[in-house]
Amino acid sequence: MGRGARGGLGSGSFRSGVALGRAGVSDQCTTGRHWPAPGTIGSPKPAGLDCASPPAAPDDPMTADEVTQLIRTGLPDAEVRVLTDDDTHFEAVVVASQFEGRRPLQRHQLVYAALGPRMGREIHALSIQAFTPGEWRHAQGAG
């Protein structure tokens, strides 16, 4: 979606001074909070909460190098290789000692945490192969 394509005063319905996004779901505001919060429809907007312009999807796509750097920042000891054909769909191989003793889902959660809010926005899809150093050596036939 491009800029301004979701939520705000121009979409959904407007009742009692409350802007509702699709199906009455609140938009995230510039403060990081949501309005209307559950059970607050019809109540006055909290001070300092500006929901007239919800954050728009960024125009600049991520590159494989940027995704690699984000993962390396979140998992400092990791060896990371990221590939992409279109700068929105990525494939990552991550080898990190932080994965020791963790299940695959927990490993993926560590990678997602390193990517933060970009996951699902600039990074539309990510295929992850997460290995411990020992698993990687074994997969490469060296151990």
What is the tens place of the pLDDT at every residue in 114-135? 999 999 889 989 999 999 999 9
- Bigger pLDDT: 26 vs 115: 115
Q: What is the DSSP string of 80-115?
A: EEEEESSSSEEEEEEE-GGGTT--HHHHHHHHHHHH
* pLDDT tens profile 9-25: 333 333 333 333 333 33
Full set of structural domains in the chain with CATH: 1-57 (no CATH), 64-139 (3.30.300.90)
Residue 54, number of CB atoms within 10 A of its CB: 21
Q: Does position 47 have pLDDT exceeding 70, yes or no?
A: no
The pLDDT tens digits for 69-110 are: 999 999 999 999 999 999 989 999 999 999 999 999 999 999
Report the alpha-carbon distance of residue 109 to residue 105 in Å, rounded. Answer: 6
User: Which pLDDT value is given to residue 23?
Assistant: 36
